[in-house]
Amino acid sequence: MICLTLSGSTLSDDLRAVKENREYIDMCELRLDFLTEDEQKRASIFPSLVDLPVILTFRRLQDGGCLNISEKSRRAILVSALDGDFKYVDIEEDVKRSEVEDKAREKGVRIIRSLHDFEKVPEDIYSKLYHLSEKGDIAKVAVTPRSFQDVFTLFRVEEELKGVDKIVIGMGEYGVATRILYKKLGSMLTFASSNEVAPGQISAKELKLEYRADHVNDRTAIYGIIGNPVLHSASPRMHNRGFKAINFNAIYVPFLVDSVRSFFMFAEYMKIRGFSVTVPFKVDVLSYLGNVTREVKQIGSCNTVVRVPGMWKGINTDYYGFIKPIMADIDSGRIKTALVIGAGGASHAIVWALRNYGVKVTILNRTLSRAETIARINLCDYDSIENASRYEGSVDLIVQTTSVGLYPEVDQNPIEAFHFSGNEIVYDIIYKPKMTKLLSEAEKAGCKLHYGSEMLLEQGKLQFEAFTGYHYPHWVDSGLE
């Protein structure tokens, strides 16, 4: 079930939120700590105003609530609200049996016993869940993973506690995958909100329409993207829309990762079918692959990993994705020289692609040794990014491959002092925002532009084919433009 957390200051606000999200949700949680004092007194009528089950919650300040109130007053408000037809009530794990629990039992309201930890994932998380299940009908933990290994721990909950009614949530950026793949954790529901009431919450519309999280079952194939950062990625939107269009039972999820090793262990455990790789792991994944394509061998970078019998196979679709939008200009001779900004994973593929078509390339990077490594492999020049102005008016193509200018730091330009002549073709592989500061300055000078969304779409189509065996459906709006 997808449960909408309601955080309005009035019941009218909350009713409006339910109405706006009704087609995406199965239940809702009324948060009394967000309501005004007068509205708290009227809370018992709320379940009769909506056509779906309601969880009653009054979160304490230390558990993420927003109201400083005595425990006695809090319980009194909960007891009063329980006059209404609530289906569930949330009671914190350390609260001893009280009039709230007694009234809930009397009325047949199911009790959720909850534990919140905004600092970490407790080492004894499985034990804590089991003890919570003994105190209530449903055990709930909302904890904060600080590494991908912590995320892996949460995904093993179902194996450790099969048959226990539970809600398992990883908060924060690392925990986003747990909110989307909640069924794989054995969780009875996932919480959604319109304004991120808890860290990492996703909108109900996105969970329902983009991820189809509530349709995940034992036969659902799991795909994803790993990176750090990764939550800005538009790839989930593209792939999930493609899966839906061809009626392919699969889901594509963003995984914030700090350790490639931890992710590969997780991927084996979860039987993940394939995943995209973005910064900074395009080189790091190579040592875990049993088979790689010719492009990966020659480029030394991998952006796509698929499961094949007995091993993982590495593919590089960045090469084709990058080159396709500018092929006409290469074929016509319009592009003969290029300046590539950056020497990260993506630049490996981009430099190789350009050199493959006879373009003379100079790589600019802050760390010269990294630029030199790529330059030596591809027989091209390199220089410090501080010397970018030396190349003004002398190159046909400028390609920006770094994360400088990526949302939310949209006011940055990796070659701030560079002056465009207006004759350059400028290609920034960042796609969020579409118009980076670099591209904006290039446009003012009259340059021809290429956007990161173009490369993302073309390389994504090839990834989709590698994942599913089908071409990306041409009639689908990929959501990348």
Q: Tell me, yes or no, if 336 is annotated catalytic.
A: no
The CA dihedral of 32, 37, 38, 44, to the nearest 10 degrees, is 30
Q: In sequence order, what are the residues at sequence separation of 6 or more whose Cβ sits closer than 8 angstroms to the Cβ of residue 400?
A: 341, 342, 414, 415, 426, 427, 428, 429, 430, 436, 438
How crowded is residue 156: how many other Cβ atoms within 10 Å of its Cβ? 15
CA–CA separation, 24 vs 11, rounded Å? 20
C-alpha neighbours within 13 Å on the C-beta side of residue 230: 27
Query: Which DSSP helix (H) or strand (E) runs through 350?
Result: helix 345-356
Q: How distant, in Å, are the alpha carbons of 172, 340, 424 from that of 442?
A: 37, 15, 8
Catalytic residue among 282, 313, 450, 461: 282
| Residue keyed to tokens 């009671």 | 91
| Catalytic residue chosen out of the listed positions 140, 166, 244, 461 | 140
| Reduced DSSP (H G I as helix, E B as strand, rest coil) percent helix, strand, coil of the chain, to 5 | 40, 20, 40
Which amino acid makes up residue 290? Answer: G
Q: Residue 11: which of 53, 40, 33 has the closest Cα? A: 40
63 annotated active-site = no
Is 318 in the active site? yes
Q: Which of 116, 183, 239, 437 is catalytic?
A: 116
Note if 140 is an active site residue: yes
Beta bridge partners of 274: 223, 306
Q: Which of the residues 90, 318, 396, 428 is marked catalytic?
A: 318
Residues 147 and 259 sit within 8 Å (Cβ to Cβ): yes
CA distance readout (Å), 32 to 41, 73, 79? 10, 12, 12
| Contact present, 467 and 306 (Cβ < 8 Å) | yes
Q: Which residues are catalytic?
A: 116, 140, 282, 318
